Amino acid sequence: MPEQVWSDVDEFFEQHLLPADDVLRATLETNVAEGLPPIAVTPPQGKLLHLLARACNARRILEIGTLGAYSTIWMARALAPGGRLVTLEIDPHHADVARRNLERARLSDRVEVRIGRAADLLDAMQGVVEPFDFVFVDADKASSDVYFQAVLALSHPGTVIVVDNVVRSGKVADASSDDEDIQGIRRMTEWLATQPHVSATAIQTVGGKSYDGFLMAIVGKR
């Protein structure tokens, strides 16, 4: 099935279900102009994150991997009144672009961009911050298992966790892959199998960003 069809279908649903939005358009344009890689979630995926965050009435959202804050804006717009979003980014230029995009979106009062290695920033939050209601994991995939375990310690029963890019054109099924990203996703998935209080699934997706997928989990009582 040609990728053109996947993009055409995305476009059809975008036209009908995603009203034109100057802030989101300007965010993507700024990301391109600032030389950021074109790896933000697609518009339909961004809206899915928004709907999921709304469905669980999220007051506290955590994101790992900000890039230019495109996904951040979608999720922050789902925050219940008084809610907060914390997003972690290692690249100071990405964080700078993200802050400007959030300013334009009038979300700076609700969103905090923290700069550093996500593993370090997550460690620093342990035992210090209130648990999060909704988490989007979207940084380096090689560390997926590390991030998932750290996120679990920042969760409560009912927390929803979504992990991006868990399929990578099907490469995740190759146990002998020498791709560190694939091995990280496989370690995370194998570890999840040992956690009876976490209920998870993974969904393969096609669209404007080709063939990939999401993992979604909900944390239960320990």
Which residue, judged by CB position, is nearest to ligand DHB in the bound state? 39
For Mg ion, the closer CB: 164 or 181:
164
Helix (H, G, I), strand (E, B) or coil at 46: helix
Side by side, the strands of the sheet bearing 132-137 are 111-115, 84-89, 60-64, 132-137, 155-164, 212-219, 198-205
Helix (H, G, I), strand (E, B) or coil at 13: helix
Question: Which x/- pattern, by CB under 5 A, does the window 92-131 give for Mg ion?
Answer: ----------------------------------------
Strand partners, 113: 87
The answer to the question of residue 145 lying near ligand DHB (CB under 6 A) is: no
- List the one residue out of 188, 181, 187 whose CA is nearest residue 212: 181
For ligand DHB, the closer CB: 125 or 167:
167
| Interface with ligand SAH in residues 2-41 (CB under 6 A) | 39-41
Contact pick of 79, 85, 111, 139 for ligand SAH (by CB under 6 A):
139
The answer to the question of residue 183 lying near ligand DHB (CB under 6 A) is: no
The answer to the question of residue 181 lying near ligand SAH (CB under 6 A) is: no
The answer to the question of residue 10 lying near ligand DHB (CB under 6 A) is: no
**Phi, psi (rounded to 5 degrees) for 63:** -125, 135
Contact pick of 9, 28, 39, 218 for ligand DHB (by CB under 6 A):
39
Strand 132-137, strand 155-164: pairing? parallel
| Interface with ligand DHB in residues 77-116 (CB under 6 A) | none
The answer to the question of residue 164 lying near ligand DHB (CB under 6 A) is: yes
Note the maximum CA span of the chain. 49
The answer to the question of residue 94 lying near ligand SAH (CB under 6 A) is: yes
Contact pick of 30, 159, 165, 205 for Mg ion (by CB under 5 A):
165
The answer to the question of residue 165 lying near ligand DHB (CB under 6 A) is: yes
CA angle at residue 63 from 108 to 10, to 5 degrees? Answer: 95
Q: Which chain residues interact with ligand DHB by CB under 6 A?
A: 39, 138, 164-165
